[in-house]
Chains A and B, each alone.
Chain A
Amino acid sequence: MGDTATEKPVQAGAAATAALLSIENLRVTFTGLSKPVTAVDGVDLALARGEVVALLGESGSGKSVTLRSILRLHAANKTRIEGRIHVDGVDVMALSPGELAQFRGKTVSMVFQEPMLALDPVYTVGQQIIEALRRHEPLSKTEARRRALALFEQVRIPSPDRRLDAYPHEMSGGMRQRAMIALALSCNPRVLLADEPTTALDATVQVQILLLLRDLQRQLGLAMIFVTHDISVAVEVADRVAVMYAGRIVEMGAVRDVVRRPRHPYTIGLLSTRAHGGKLAGTRLPAIPGSPPDLANLPPGCPYAPRCAHAADVCRAATPPPVTVAEGHVVRCARTDATASL
């Protein structure tokens, strides 16, 4: 990582002034386990106003951990976070607990994967939104309720007035997710973080929620970071995609570039294993061999090398530095020469 340290700060500095959210050299290590595990190992990310970035990866890639670090949701005594996170000029790592409580919800807000777990089951959804509103703004109960009603209309919940008084378990999955989006947007955040918000939903509901998020993002000019394991979700929602593997971003660029001209062997592998279309029926899927990496026992060098068809000795010797293969398209691979022709 030594050679990248010299180029990174310059880029980050330039990007940081324009970016709404910038993450520099983020390293997250969980110390509570029998052996410390580095879940995120040197992530750099810049998010401009009104931009949507998708973090794409499988289990163990570090995508959710990255997201949660922005809101400092990890247990402080079991986690060690290094690096810098700036949102709208504010250094997130330096916030006091009181400032952090203000920051969450007002500047940056999050939508979770499982609404049943994120919403409090003993309060109605209306009560939870009103509580969030009154915490950040001096509103009376009636005003807060009016705002909550407007939010429910914005997320297209039918019969919103009646639904405000419903408990989470009385609502269907799609409805709950809309309620959670309303809760997340209640205090007009600048950045919305979404942690696999549609993974637990049925196909017909997923497409509705994704379109809703896209419309809301356009309307409100929100910046969004969207974590997903499904490439098609990234294609539908994102402007840029960052593919993560073993705690690092291995490929990043405009969604068009990454999906049409992938240059990292992992991204190429992911795209070709999709069982899409009837064209492939009757044959076998081109599968990536091996298993997802064991973060406690990473091999030296590129973490993808054990599974990579193009791995060479240079890959196993040291972690590959980022290589710019096209405008705005960066790949962490030592074998981009091999993938150029695919």
Chain B
Amino acid sequence: MMEATIPAIPVMAVAIRSPGYWKTVLLRFARDPLAVAAAAVVLLLILMAIFAPWLAPNDPLQGMTLRRLKPPGTEGYPLGTDELGRDMLSRLIYGARISLFMGIVPVFCALFIGAFIGITAGYAGGWLNTVLMRTIDVFFAFPSVLLAVAMAGALGPGIFNGMLALTLVFIPPIARVAESVTTSVRSLDYVEAARASGASAMLIIRKHVLGNVLGPIFVYAMSLIAVSMILASGLSFLGLGVKPPQPDWGLMLNTLRTALYTQPLLCALPGVMIFITSISFNLMTDGLRSAMDIKA
């Protein structure tokens, strides 16, 4: 690349425009086979959840006690039946709906609230930062499982209460990450230069801070989806959160406990689904994080 005018190099007739930031990230992401595979799995799971009524062979709620605890491979029931005679395959497919819902929605709600708190605290600094972050720290001091259980227990069982509890659990870590990223971006020279330009604080945040801060916060939040799913499963397992007879992977783990010694394969199935989903989300967010790390 040369700036001095040397006659041998022809003048560019067409302007060079680089692909935008997110497009570059997408291109880099696409070159990572593991991340792409993980993203494909996540997509499949989401599609499975959406199209459950068309995919499930049987009614997930209807069971015949005559046919309870049939092993996988039984005719008519590819993955067997649970303790009430309900088709495991259908319940697993329908279960994806609630499990994914309880994984994604609380995290996104927490993302909005936590990012707002964290970015404000990070940019403002000073006493506002101290007040906000120390309040957050109080909640952060509780282990997340304990906090989720305590809140869900106080609010009572039910999906909505479970999601509320999970949202509250995830706000502190997201706020902390948001504050730390914002503080580090704020001290960079280009933000100083923006301050030196006379721009108002809102303009600086909008133009210079947000774009560089939302990325890492988003990636961190995505990595919490898997945690949220597992926590939701845990809540259901404990009897909080999802109520029977709704199909939910965590709840299924609980109710199938009784069959642990007679039909161990049946018990493992919901756990396998949780495992596949959470590991796919994790690998996908890892790939996204690497793709966003664009160095010169």
Closest to B5 in A: A289
Cα of A294 to Cα of B2 in the assembled complex, Å = 11
Interface of B, secondary structure class, is loop
List CB contacts (< 8 Å) of B1-18 with chain A.
1-4, 6
Across the interface, do A291 and B6 meet the contact criterion of CB distance under 8 Å? no
Set of chain A residues within 8 Å of B1, measured between Cβ atoms: 291, 294
Count, chain A residues at interface, CB 8 A: 5
Cα of A172 to Cα of B61 in the assembled complex, Å = 73
Across the interface, do B3 and A306 meet the contact criterion of CB distance under 8 Å? no
Set of chain A residues within 8 Å of B3, measured between Cβ atoms: 290-291
Cα of A289 to Cα of B3 in the assembled complex, Å = 8
List CB contacts (< 8 Å) of A289-304 with chain B.
289-291, 294
Instruction: Give the 7 A-B residue pairs with the shortest CB-CB distance, closest first.
Output: A289-B4, A290-B2, A291-B1, A290-B4, A291-B2, A306-B2, A294-B1
Set of chain B residues within 8 Å of A291, measured between Cβ atoms: 1-3
Set of chain B residues within 8 Å of A294, measured between Cβ atoms: 1
A255 CB, min distance to chain B CBs, angstroms: 30
Interface of A, secondary structure class, is loop
Set of chain A residues within 8 Å of B6, measured between Cβ atoms: 289-290, 306
Cα of A306 to Cα of B9 in the assembled complex, Å = 10
Set of chain B residues within 8 Å of A306, measured between Cβ atoms: 2, 6
Cα of A34 to Cα of B3 in the assembled complex, Å = 26
B4 CB, min distance to chain A CBs, angstroms: 4
Set of chain B residues within 8 Å of A289, measured between Cβ atoms: 2, 4, 6
Closest to A290 in B: B2
A30 CB, min distance to chain B CBs, angstroms: 15
Cα of A306 to Cα of B1 in the assembled complex, Å = 10
Set of chain A residues within 8 Å of B4, measured between Cβ atoms: 289-290
Set of chain A residues within 8 Å of B2, measured between Cβ atoms: 289-291, 306
Cα of A156 to Cα of B6 in the assembled complex, Å = 53
11 further interface pairs, Cβ-Cβ under 8 Å (given A291-B3, A306-B6) = A289-B2, A289-B4, A289-B6, A290-B2, A290-B3, A290-B4, A290-B6, A291-B1, A291-B2, A294-B1, A306-B2
Cα of A309 to Cα of B4 in the assembled complex, Å = 13
Cα of A17 to Cα of B4 in the assembled complex, Å = 47
Cα of A315 to Cα of B191 in the assembled complex, Å = 46
13 contacts between A and B (CB under 8 A): A289-B2, A289-B4, A289-B6, A290-B2, A290-B3, A290-B4, A290-B6, A291-B1, A291-B2, A291-B3, A294-B1, A306-B2, A306-B6
B233 CB, min distance to chain A CBs, angstroms: 40
Cα of A197 to Cα of B2 in the assembled complex, Å = 31
Cα of A78 to Cα of B194 in the assembled complex, Å = 40
A65 CB, min distance to chain B CBs, angstroms: 18
A273 CB, min distance to chain B CBs, angstroms: 14
Cα of A291 to Cα of B1 in the assembled complex, Å = 7
B48 CB, min distance to chain A CBs, angstroms: 36
Residue interface mask A257-292, B partner, CB < 8 A = 1: 000000000000000000000000000000001110
B194 CB, min distance to chain A CBs, angstroms: 28
Closest to B8 in A: A306
A162 CB, min distance to chain B CBs, angstroms: 35
